[in-house]
Amino acid sequence: MRYYTFRVASPTGPIVRIGAEQDGGLVDLTAAATLLLHDRGEPDWTEYAGFLVPPDLVTYLERGDKARRVVDESLTLVRDAVGSGVTLAPDGARLGYGFDEVHLLAPVPRPNIVWDSMVFHEHVKMGRPVIPDVFFEWPPYFTQSGAIVAGPHDPIVKPRFTEQLDFEVEFGAVIGRKGINIPAAEAESYIAGFTIYNDISARDVQFREMEMMLGPAKGKNFEGANVMGPCLVTLDEIDYDDLRMTARVNGETIVDDNSSAMYHKFPRIIEWISQEEYLYPGDFIASGTCDHGTAMTSTLKRWLEVGDVMEIEIPGIGTIRNEVVASPRA
């Protein structure tokens, strides 16, 4: 399944909904659940649908397997209903939208936390004469704010404080259920799905921060620095250990790598992060930057500039496309 979070106009103003891709469009999952529960004769079907399948992906994941079963069944019902000319749920809500009618947000617009790994050899080698032994023992990671996420088509706003705006080509997993001390063999069952991730970085600030053996902090934490999208793809639809990861700037391909180069795979990363620490639905765990996935390790060989259009594509997930713009306060 391919989950989306999107904003759409309504008579009372813009609203945010969650949807699933079906037949080239987006099914509003809350409206679809309303149709199903009404069809079943459930009492309080409107409230029940809103509880089981709320228009928020994290809360929906928290509802568990029952909510997912309702979504699976409702999608079949919606396909039949639309085929018969029905376009509205019993409460009057639209069942579906075209992609050209909505503004896509990040699948999880505000993750609880961003755990960013560093598990590709070539990225670890950057600036190091040798890879530290500890890298081979456990997957290194750091944390970032989940409050600075941008969507798949939102602008990348260049902060006023940097002259070295960089990108990082990554993808990542959204956690689907609560767990602690998760064995690698069971880790996949905690993954709700995968999405593309561009970890925008202010390198000059980041490297100054790290002189104090702290950070990255402000070098990676500013509005819109965590670009995600366009959708969340469940494990049954992709092989996350064999994903082509390409990037383009102004139409020119500058990165062409593969997720198979990850030394530590997602099950091992999840096992390590969850040691004596809970993971929750809505946590985001990134792969870390692929081997050539930054400005200077790619063929670009320069920093991002205002006016650049940055695209990252991963077949099976899609493409994010973001233009670099100046800070409106600059």
- Structural domains counted in the chain: 2
Q: How far lies 278's CA from each of 119, 135, 232, in Å?
A: 22, 23, 22
213: confidence class by pLDDT, cuts 50, 70, 90? confident
Those residues with Cβ within 8 angstroms of residue 293's Cβ, 6 or more apart along the chain or in another chain: 120, 123, 167, 168, 169, 170, 245, 247, 255, 257
pLDDT score of 92 more than 60: yes
pLDDT band, residue 258 (cuts 50/70/90): very high
For 203-213, letters b (16+ CB in 10 Å) and e give: bbbbeebeeee
Q: Which of 57, 77, 103 is the last residue of a domain?
A: 103
Confidence check: pLDDT of 250 > 90: yes
C-alpha to C-alpha distances, 272 to 68, 145, 226, 230, nearest whole angstrom: 28, 20, 23, 28
| Residues 54 and 34 placed together within one structural domain of the fold | yes
* Token digits of residue 241: 């250990």
How confident is the model at residue 126, as a pLDDT? 76
Residue 47: give the domain boundaries.
2-103
pLDDT at 214: 83
- Mean per-residue pLDDT, 91-117: 97
Do you know the residue count of the chain?
330
Residues 249, 221 within the same domain: yes
pLDDT: which is higher, 262 or 10? 262
Overall average pLDDT of the 83-90 stretch: 94
Average pLDDT, stretch 241-249?
98
Of 87, 103, 119, the residue at which a domain comes to its end is 103
Q: What is the largest CA-CA distance in the chain?
A: 67
Q: Are residues 221 and 199 in the same domain?
A: yes
Predicted pLDDT of residue 330: 55
**How confident is residue 68, by pLDDT bands cut at 50, 70 and 90?**
very high
The domain boundary, picked from 103, 123, 148, lies at 103
pLDDT at position 11 is 87
Q: What is the CATH number of the domain that holds 161?
A: 3.90.850.10
Residue 234: band (very low, low, confident or very high) from pLDDT cuts 50, 70, 90? very high
- Which of 25, 38, 9, 156 is CA-nearest to residue 97? 25
Token pair 């050899």 in the structure block, residue: 121
pLDDT, tens digit (0-9, with 9 covering 90-100), for 117-172:
999 988 888 767 888 899 999 999 999 999 999 999 999 999 999 999 999 999 99
241 touches 259 (CB < 8 A): yes
Classify residue 213 by its DSSP letter: T
Cβ–Cβ < 8 Å for 312, 247? yes
